[in-house]
C-alpha cells in the first residue's frame, strides 16, 4: 500500500465476533472516528470471524488506522486466533486495540492484544475494554453493548481521533508523523506482564471445572436445517451436510446457540451449567468500559 496525502488516513475496523458484540463496538468506534475528522477516509471493515478470512495475509501501511477488536476468552486473547494474528503485517499503521468481555474481567487480554499488534508492526495510540453480553448467558450483561455503551464508544472515538490528529500535527508531514510514531511508547493499559495463565473456572471448593471439550448439543426435533449455525461457527466446526452438529473445535462463543431461531442448540454439561450460574450470581453489577488514551 502506497503512501497517501500527509493528513489523510484510511480508517477501518478489524474484528473477530462470534455473536456480533465485538463487531458492534468496533464499528461504532470506527464510524465515530470517521465522523470526527475529515482526515479519515472510512474504508471497508475486515471481519476475520469466518475461517476463510483467517487464511489470508493482511498487510497495512502508515496511511492505515485500524480499530482492532477481539473478544476475551478466559481472560486472554483467544488462543485459536494467535496463529492468524502472528501473520499480520502492520507496516507502521496506527492501531487501536479493543477487547470485549462478559462482565467478569478482561484480565490480561488488552495488554496481550496491544503487545501482539506492536510486535506485528503497528503503533498503538489508544485502547479500550468494553462489555458485551456473556457468550454463555442471556442474563450476564444482557443486551450489552447497549445505548449507554455506544455513547461511550462515540465519545472514545472522538478522543482517539483527536489523539491521532495531535500526533499528525506534531509530525507536520507524513515523514514527520512516521518519526513521531516510531518514537512513541505503546498505549498504557491495565494488565500484567508477564501475561498470566488463562482463567480457569472453579467450584466453591476451589476445584477446577474443565469445560474445554464441552460442545453444544442438538435437539433434532427443533432443527429445521436452516444452516444459520453453519455460517455462525467461526471454527468451521458445523458442516452444511449436518447442521447443528458440532464436529470439531468449539471455543464456546455460543454464536450457533444464540443465533439459532428455533433454540435447537443447547448445553447440558453439568460443569458448564454450574460455571454459567456462578458467573451470573458472582458478577451481577454493571461493569463500565475502560478507556486508555
CATH code at position 259: 3.30.70.20
Overall pTM > 0.85: yes
Q: Is residue 232 part of a domain?
A: yes
| Spatial distance between the Cα atoms of 268 and 252, rounded to a whole number of angstroms | 13
Question: Residue by residue, what is the 3-state secondary structure of 76-99?
Answer: ECCHHHHHHHCCCECCCCEEEEEE
Whether residue 180 sits in one domain with residue 255: no
Whether residue 183 sits in one domain with residue 135: yes
Whether residue 176 sits in one domain with residue 145: yes
Q: Is residue 293 part of a domain?
A: no
Q: Is residue 168 part of a domain?
A: yes
CATH at 111: 3.40.50.360
Q: Which element (helix H / strand E) includes 231? A: helix 228-232
Q: Nine-digit cell at 72?
A: 476475551
| Spatial distance between the Cα atoms of 171 and 158, rounded to a whole number of angstroms | 20
Whether residue 193 sits in one domain with residue 223: no
Whether residue 241 sits in one domain with residue 104: no
Whether residue 230 sits in one domain with residue 191: no
Closest CA to 80 of 18, 135, 131, 13: 18
Q: How many domains does the chain have?
A: 2
Q: Is 289 within 8 Å of 103 (Cβ atoms)?
A: no
| Spatial distance between the Cα atoms of 17 and 25, rounded to a whole number of angstroms | 10
Q: Is 222 within 8 Å of 264 (Cβ atoms)?
A: yes
Q: Is residue 211 part of a domain?
A: no
Whether residue 229 sits in one domain with residue 87: no
Residue 266: phi and psi, rounded to 5, are -155, 165
Q: Nine-digit cell at 246?
A: 458440532
Q: Is 182 within 8 Å of 98 (Cβ atoms)?
A: no
Q: Nine-digit cell at 179?
A: 518519526
- CA geometry: angle at 136 spanning 255 and 285, to 5°? 130
Q: Is 74 within 8 Å of 200 (Cβ atoms)?
A: yes
Whether residue 113 sits in one domain with residue 62: yes
Gyration radius of the chain's alpha carbons: 20
Q: Is 61 within 8 Å of 1 (Cβ atoms)?
A: yes
Q: Is 163 within 8 Å of 155 (Cβ atoms)?
A: no
Whether residue 223 sits in one domain with residue 192: no
Q: Is residue 286 part of a domain?
A: no
Q: What is the pLDDT along the chain (293 residues), one digit of tens a residue?
A: 444 345 599 999 999 999 999 999 999 999 999 999 999 999 999 999 999 999 999 999 999 999 999 999 999 999 999 999 999 999 999 999 999 999 999 999 999 999 999 999 999 999 999 999 999 999 999 999 999 999 999 999 999 999 999 999 999 999 999 999 999 999 999 999 999 999 999 999 999 999 999 999 999 999 999 999 999 999 999 999 999 999 999 999 999 999 999 999 999 999 999 999 999 999 999 999 999 99
Residue 2 is predicted with a pLDDT of 40
- As beta bridge partners, residue 10 has 41, 64
Q: Is residue 55 part of a domain?
A: yes
> DSSP assignment, residue 54?
G
Whether residue 160 sits in one domain with residue 38: yes
Q: Nine-digit cell at 90?
A: 502492520
Closest CA to 203 of 123, 281, 258: 281
Closest CA to 65 of 134, 119, 108, 1: 1
**Residue 85, Cβ density class (10 Å: 0-12 exposed, 13-18 middle, ≥19 buried):** buried
Q: Nine-digit cell at 12?
A: 477501518
Q: Is residue 209 part of a domain?
A: no
Cβ atoms within 10 Å of 34's Cβ, excluding its own: 20
- Give me the domain span that covers residue 224: 217-280
Amino acid at each position: 500500500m502506497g503512501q497517501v496525502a500527509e493528513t489523510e488516513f484510511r480508517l477501518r475496523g478489524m474484528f473477530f465476533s462470534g455473536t456480533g458484540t465485538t463487531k458492534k463496538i468496533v464499528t461504532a468506534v470506527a464510524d465515530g472516528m470517521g465522523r470526527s475528522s475529515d482526515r479519515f477516509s472510512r474504508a471497508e471493515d475486515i471481519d476475520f470471524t469466518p475461517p476463510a478470512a483467517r487464511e489470508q495475509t493482511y498487510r497495512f501501511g502508515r496511511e492505515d488506522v485500524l480499530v482492532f477488536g477481539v473478544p476475551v476468552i478466559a481472560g486472554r486473547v483467544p488462543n485459536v486466533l494467535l496463529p492468524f494474528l502472528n501473520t499480520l503485517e502492520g507496516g507502521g499503521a496506527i492501531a487501536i486495540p479493543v477487547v470485549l468481555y462478559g462482565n467478569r474481567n478482561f484480565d490480561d487480554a488488552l495488554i496481550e492484544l496491544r503487545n501482539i499488534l506492536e510486535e506485528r508492526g503497528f503503533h498503538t495510540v489508544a485502547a479500550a475494554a468494553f462489555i458485551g453480553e456473556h457468550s454463555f448467558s442471556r442474563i450476564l450483561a444482557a443486551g450489552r453493548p447497549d445505548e449507554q455503551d455506544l455513547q461511550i464508544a462515540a465519545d472514545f472515538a472522538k478522543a482517539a481521533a483527536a489523539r491521532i490528529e495531535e500526533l499528525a500535527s506534531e509530525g507536520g508531514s507524513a515523514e514527520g508523523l512516521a518519526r513521531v510514531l516510531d518514537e512513541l511508547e505503546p498505549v498504557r493499559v491495565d494488565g500484567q506482564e508477564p501475561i498470566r495463565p488463562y482463567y480457569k473456572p472453579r467450584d466453591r471448593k476451589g476445584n477446577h471445572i474443565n469445560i474445554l471439550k464441552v460442545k453444544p448439543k442438538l435437539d433434532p426435533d427443533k432443527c429445521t436445517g436452516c444452516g444459520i449455525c453453519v455460517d455462525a461457527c467461526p471454527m468451521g466446526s458445523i458442516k452444511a451436510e449436518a447442521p447443528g452438529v458440532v464436529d470439531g473445535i468449539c471455543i464456546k462463543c455460543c454464536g450457533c446457540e444464540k443465533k439459532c431461531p428455533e433454540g435447537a442448540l443447547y448445553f447440558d454439561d453439568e460443569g458448564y451449567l454450574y460455571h454459567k450460574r456462578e458467573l451470573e450470581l458472582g458478577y451481577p453489577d454493571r461493569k463500565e468500559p475502560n478507556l486508555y488514551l
